[in-house]
Structure 1
């Protein structure tokens, strides 16, 4: 246990991240994380995986974690409005943990329910004045979490409303990090919905501000690159991606918000691949997406990320007519689809499977495999439906 604690502390120090910042980023109880980092309590397998992901350690901490580790007992929640805040944050952590493992479909509306209940409490004017600031920040965070889960569940209109609400609440609370997060999520959603003009305006708004933390700037450059790729501007897309990669090589700064920990090599590789795909260069896209997929598989607890990159890689392979590469991706899909429910990835996968069936030049054996994958129960739409 002490080896685990020592390695985790060293990695946090190398990132310039405090234990409190890590607990907030991972949405773990700070007292529990402190006990783990000081060698006074075994880490749970989930915490070990989460720290590996946070610190880019690629399974190092999971290997050091004691084999008989168990989930810690839930700390006793405080009373009153502080207890409500505690409960909201605990719920957000559980929703996100479920999304990481199994996708957002089945928890998106539960998160919205918690958020809306908190919003009504806030709007009622009954939150004590001494707690209003923290309560407002927490509701902003719940709105952001709800927006992300709705996005993953392929409900972009509701997702946009949640992100807009998170942005407004964050500004009312004076919570700059959450404001930046909401803006980034709105840019992400605009790219997803093929609205490059909107994404560019948001990215440029962030980049035009002074004293923006490096990781927030990096994300804005990624969103800008994705939007430029959708307009077909290859030169400027590659310029922004190069700038993002240069920034990624710098250590995370103390000014970076805690939520920015996940901006890493995997994230950038995936966006680079998606940018090439938008530019009509699927062969180049495959390299970046494959790299992102390989890195995602090093964290076994994140099935949602793996199925997202798998769906992207299959689309790139089909567009490049790399049939054997497409086959390699498809044979890994059924087991994932049995446990991961991500509407966003299912939608993309169904469209690609339909494209394979419609492609007269695709090998017959690949079309047969596409039918087999489409028959997995979680892919409720049939290949025939995707032809419409």
Structure 2
């Protein structure tokens, strides 16, 4: 499949005034599948390509773009900006898949090396002027990937520097979608670090921009809802999160940036669980985390189990807390995420400091804490 399929499909949908939801309804396909295809996250089947081509009257263009591409053999490794960009994108995809399964600790240094080696070329003036804009955009994306993995490995300072660099490079390259992504990542980081004021400033900036894609606005409301929950503003926090959850499918648009493909009901449910935990609505938080577990990646499963442990500890539900520790313990040997280990340490401390903890659970907490290497 040509890399041009997704961008061309988005352009045709925009030209025809069609939404992803309307397209899915017209073709009787799952809207999430069409969203992934549109954003380049999944190859379209031949049947879908033909159906889209006919619906959008593309005269066979989409069918041709969807056809498998046979790579030409090359005796030598290509060099130059285009080769660097292709290498960055392919490497980032592989690194992110690994992190979803095993956590970000092992691959964060690789992502940082990938980003900084490319940025050094850009800073040293080694990239021809004609290629600088596209190269800067690719380096902005590499910096964002490095920032996310640094965040997952628990290095908040380095993650912030990477996100700020990504934002600056994206602005220089004129890549609005990547600018929005960097701002969303900064809001995520401020949420994690308990800086609701910073989150509010970022989300207010995003929501004040004209013609911001619906998916980006939805994410800004999720981040703002989390920040409002942290300061105890229950009504406005739940209003933002309920609006986001209600608009997940309706917000699908051909204008969505590629990076917004992962936003779904389970993701927003998990954020709602975090907000409810901040608001001390423990029973509701537990239900949200249990639901989010169903479709989570292995790294996500560990995160939601840790937050379930935190919720059970706050509720003094000792039997359930013990069961969660037993579920989490085997994951520690395969999923190396500094962020999750930090969160687990905090959850174990909640149990350890509570009154009325059974003796057996206290011993289990101490043994588990001893296995966490921070």
1:107-126 equivalences in 2 (<5 Å) = 107-126=107-126
Distance apart, 1:129 and its partner CA: 2.3
- Superposed CA deviations along residues 186-220 of structure 1, whole A, max 9, x for unmatched, are 00101111000010011111111111111101100
Alignment-derived partner of residue 50 in structure 1: none
The aligned residue for residue 40 of structure 2 is 22
Q: Which of the numbers 327, 330, 333 marks the counterpart of 1:335?
A: 330
The alpha-carbon distance between structure 1 residues 10 and 135, as it changes in their structure 2 partners (threshold 3 A), is farther
The aligned residue for residue 236 of structure 2 is: 236
CA distance in structure 2 between the aligned counterparts of 1:186 and 1:289, rounded to whole angstroms = 23
- Deviation, structure 1 residue 168: 0.5
Larger radius of gyration: 2
Tell me, in whole angstroms, the C-alpha distance in 2 between the residues paired with 1:211 and 1:252: 14
With normalisation by structure 2, the TM-score equals 0.81
Shift of 1:115: 0.7
Deviation per residue, 1:300-348 (Å, 9 max, x gap)? xx32111111111111110011222212211111221110000011011
Deviation per CA, 1:22-67, whole angstroms, max 9, x where unpaired? 24xx7xxxxxx46xx349xxxxxxxxxxxxxxxxxxxxxxxxxxxx
Could you say which residue in structure 1 is the equivalent of 2:86? 86
1:274 correspondence with 2:274: yes
Partner residue in 1 for 2:348 = 353
Q: CA RMSD in A?
A: 2.4
Which 4+ runs in 1 deviate beyond 3 A? Answer: 9-20, 72-79
CA distance in 1, matches of 2:184, 2:274: 17
Change (3 A) 1:248 1:117: same
| Residue aligning to 1:165 | 165
Alignment of 1:187-202 (within 5 A): 187-202=187-202
Unaligned runs of 5+ in 2: 1-23, 48-69
Q: Tell me if the contact between 2:215 and 2:251 (Cα under 8 Å) persists in the aligned partners.
A: no
Q: Offset at 1:282? A: 2.0
Structure 2 Cα separation of the partners of residues 75 and 90 of structure 1: 18
- Once the two structures are superposed, what CA deviation does each residue of 1:144-191 show, in whole Å capped at 9, x if it has no partner? 001100100111011001000000000111111101100000001011
If the length of structure 1 is used for normalisation, what is the TM-score?
0.78
In 1: Cα distance, 2:220 partner to 2:247 partner: 12
Q: CA–CA distance in 2 between the matches of 1:355 and 1:235?
A: 26
Q: Distance in 2 between matches of 1:324 and 1:144?
A: 40
1:14 and 1:198 map into 2 onto residues whose CA distance is 32
Question: In the alignment, is the contact (CA less than 8 A) between 1:140 and 1:165 conserved in 2?
Answer: yes
DSSP-derived class of the 1:295 partner: coil
Contact in 1 for aligned 2:314/2:350 (Cα 8 Å): no
Partner of 1:217: 217
Q: State the number of aligned residues.
A: 325
Distance in structure 1 (CA, Å) of the matches to 2:38 and 2:242? 32
Q: Determine the C-alpha separation between the residues in 2 that align with 1:110 and 1:75.
A: 28
Q: Is there any run of 5+ residues in structure 1 with no aligned partner, and where? A: 1-6, 27-32, 40-71, 297-301, 382-388
Checking the alignment, whether the CA contact within 8 Å between 1:141 and 1:166 is kept in structure 2 is yes
Comparing 310-319 and 282-291, the one that deviates more: 282-291
State whether residues 92 and 145 of structure 2, in contact with CA within 8 Å, keep that contact through their aligned partners in structure 1.
Answer: yes
Report the Cα distance in structure 2 between the residues aligned to 1:321 and 1:211, rounded to whole angstroms. 47
Q: Please say if 1:294 is aligned against 2:294.
A: yes
Measured against aligned partners, the alpha-carbon deviations of 1:215-263 in whole angstroms (never above 9, x if no partner) come to 1011000000000011111111111112111211415111111110111
Cross-structure match for 2:373:
380
Using the alignment, how far apart are the partners of 1:308 and 1:270 within structure 2? 10
Task: Give the Cα separation in 1 of the matches to 2:321 and 2:270.
Answer: 17
How far apart are residue 10 of structure 1 and its match? Answer: 7.0
Question: How has the CA–CA distance of structure 1 residues 169 and 350 changed in structure 2, closer, same or farther, with 3 Å as cutoff?
Answer: same
Instruction: Report SS of the residue matched to 1:178.
Output: helix
